[in-house]
């Protein structure tokens, strides 16, 4: 896109600041206001304090909306799990016309000019279902993410276990033990 060099109007300047506060990408802002990325960078630096205050207002206003809270994410994951459970059910298998229930899906194998209708194991659906269950467990803080062994020069070994916990917004709750 060719951008003409021109002085930005006060409306354009306000739009740049607004879009920067909304964390829009520089290229999108430049395309919208029809200016260069160095112009956007200039305004980002010049009005950094004002932009930060607007971002803080936005964060405070929207922090508990949508999927930002763990219970909303778990609710959506549970809906997805229910849908995948249906896809794996006997009923879904009958709806798809398979003889072996929902764990099997119809597929077509081609070899040269020959065509064969076959039923194959629905491994991708099972894999997705397991992934959703894992995501739910992580959101609920029921999965161990990492175990660190920290050895000291005094012969002590400290085991730190980080348990996933997004409910409090932290990166994991450490618990540990000391061994001789």
Render pLDDT for 112-148 as a digit per residue (tens, 0 to 9).
889 998 888 889 989 999 999 999 888 887 766 555 5
Q: What is the mean pLDDT of residues 6-19?
A: 88
Identify whether residues 55 and 74 lie together within a single domain. Answer: no
Q: Write the CA distances from 66 to 77, 120, 133, 137, 164, integer angstroms.
A: 13, 38, 21, 20, 21
Identify whether residues 58 and 42 lie together within a single domain. Answer: yes
Q: Considering the domain boundaries, does residue 1 fall inside one?
A: no
Structural contact between residues 21 and 51, judged by C-beta atoms closer than 8 angstroms: yes
Model confidence, pTM: 0.46
Helix (H) or strand (E) holding 166: none
Q: Considering the domain boundaries, does residue 4 fall inside one?
A: no
Identify whether residues 82 and 104 lie together within a single domain. Answer: yes
**Coil/strand/helix, residue 92:** helix
Identify whether residues 48 and 76 lie together within a single domain. Answer: no
Identify whether residues 115 and 151 lie together within a single domain. Answer: no
Q: Considering the domain boundaries, does residue 107 fall inside one?
A: yes
Q: Are strands 157-163 and 104-111 parallel, antiparallel or unpaired?
A: unpaired
Q: Considering the domain boundaries, does residue 42 fall inside one?
A: yes
Q: Which of 71, 3, 66, 65 is nearest to 34 (CA)?
A: 3
Query: Predicted confidence band at 156 (pLDDT cuts at 50, 70, 90)?
Result: low
* pLDDT tens-digit series, residues 82-95: 999 988 888 888 88
Identify whether residues 80 and 102 lie together within a single domain. Answer: yes
Query: Predicted confidence band at 173 (pLDDT cuts at 50, 70, 90)?
Result: very low
Rg (CA), the chain: 27
Identify whether residues 131 and 76 lie together within a single domain. Answer: yes
* Domains in the chain, number: 3
Identify whether residues 49 and 83 lie together within a single domain. Answer: no
* pLDDT tens-digit series, residues 51-88: 999 888 877 777 667 767 778 888 889 999 999 998 88
| Number of helices and strands in the chain (H, E) | 7, 5
The range of the structural domain enclosing residue 37 comes to: 10-62
Q: Tell whether the model's pLDDT for residue 176 goes beyond 50.
A: no
What's the pLDDT score for residue 122?
Answer: 86
Q: Considering the domain boundaries, does residue 105 fall inside one?
A: yes
Identify whether residues 147 and 112 lie together within a single domain. Answer: no
Q: Considering the domain boundaries, does residue 3 fall inside one?
A: no
Identify whether residues 95 and 38 lie together within a single domain. Answer: no
Question: Which of 39, 62, 85 is a domain's end point?
Answer: 62
Q: Considering the domain boundaries, does residue 162 fall inside one?
A: yes
Structural contact between residues 176 and 147, judged by C-beta atoms closer than 8 angstroms: no
């Amino acid at each position: 896109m060719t951008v003409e060099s021109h002085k930005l109007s006060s409306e354009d300047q306000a739009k740049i600041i607004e879009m920067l506060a909304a964390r829009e990408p520089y290229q999108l802002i430049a395309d919208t206001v029809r200016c260069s990325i160095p112009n956007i960078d200039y305004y980002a630096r010049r009005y950094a304090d004002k932009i930060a205050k607007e971002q803080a207002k936005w964060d405070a206003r929207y922090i508990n909306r949508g999927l930002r809270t763990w219970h909303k994410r778990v609710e959506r994951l549970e809906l997805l799990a229910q849908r995948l459970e249906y896809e794996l059910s006997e009923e879904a298998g009958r709806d798809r016309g398979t003889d072996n229930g929902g764990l099997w899906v119809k597929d077509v194998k081609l070899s040269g000019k020959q065509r064969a209708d076959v039923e194959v194991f629905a491994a991708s659906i099972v894999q997705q279902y397991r992934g959703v269950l894992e995501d739910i467990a992580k959101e609920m803080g029921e999965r161990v993410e990492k175990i660190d062994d920290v050895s000291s020069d005094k012969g002590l070994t400290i085991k730190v276990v980080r348990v996933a916990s997004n409910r409090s917004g932290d990166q994991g709750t450490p618990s540990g033990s000391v061994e001789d």
